[in-house]
Structure 1
Amino acid sequence: MSNYAVEMKQTAQAMVASGKGILAMDESNGTCNKRFEKLGIPATEERRRAYRELILTTPG
């Protein structure tokens, strides 16, 4: 197995280790705005930024 393949395997194993995972943060502004509208939240750039920062900074 090449060094690259070994590194890829180690990376994949680290990503799925207990307590670890992947967070997809590629939600479009349109999708985020629809989510906000359903909840009565103003669909502004500031609110989207605050929402994303909350997801990334919430403990645990």
Structure 2
Amino acid sequence: PALQEELRKIAQAIVAPGKGILAADESVSTMGKRLVDIGVENTDENRRQYRQLLFSTDKVIGDNISGVILFHETLYQKADDGTPFVELLKQRGIIPNCMLTRNIV
């Protein structure tokens, strides 16, 4: 019962009126294509900096985004100040979620 209640609360938060879900689960190769298109090399650090730009914006981002789908690499990345990206999202009231595929598991 407690687990069901927690799941219900999470589901309600994700579908809150006026909010959406950010799909930030680009794979290394997909992210690489985006970076190369703007003249940036596809490195671990450049991918981290790109994600930091998304996740460390003003806390008002949580007013519009309820959840973020993350690529597994993102779970281990941190902002310049050492704060894990997952924690940055939680601080903004955003529910992090990692998309798992059979290639990863």
State the TM-score, normalizing by the size of structure 2. Answer: 0.45
Partner Cα distance (2:31, 2:19) in 1: 25
SS of 2:30's equivalent in the other structure is helix
* Aligned counterpart, 2:35: 36
Identity of aligned residues (%): 46
Task: Compute the displacement of 1:58 (Å).
Answer: 1.1
The higher radius of gyration belongs to: 1
State the TM-score, normalizing by the size of structure 1. Answer: 0.69
Q: What residue identity is the alignment partner of 2:29?
A: G
Partner Cα distance (1:14, 1:50) in 2: 28
Q: Which 5+ residue runs of structure 2 have no aligned equivalent?
A: 62-105
Q: Structure 1 segments of 4 or more deviating over 2 A?
A: 2-11, 18-26
Structure with more helix by fraction: 1
Q: Which 5+ residue runs of structure 1 have no aligned equivalent?
A: none
Partner Cα distance (2:13, 2:44) in 1: 34
Structure with more strand by fraction: 2
Larger RCO (alpha carbons 8 Å, 6+ apart):
2
Q: Say how many residue pairs are matched.
A: 59
1:17 aligns with 2:16: yes
Partner Cα distance (2:36, 2:54) in 1: 19
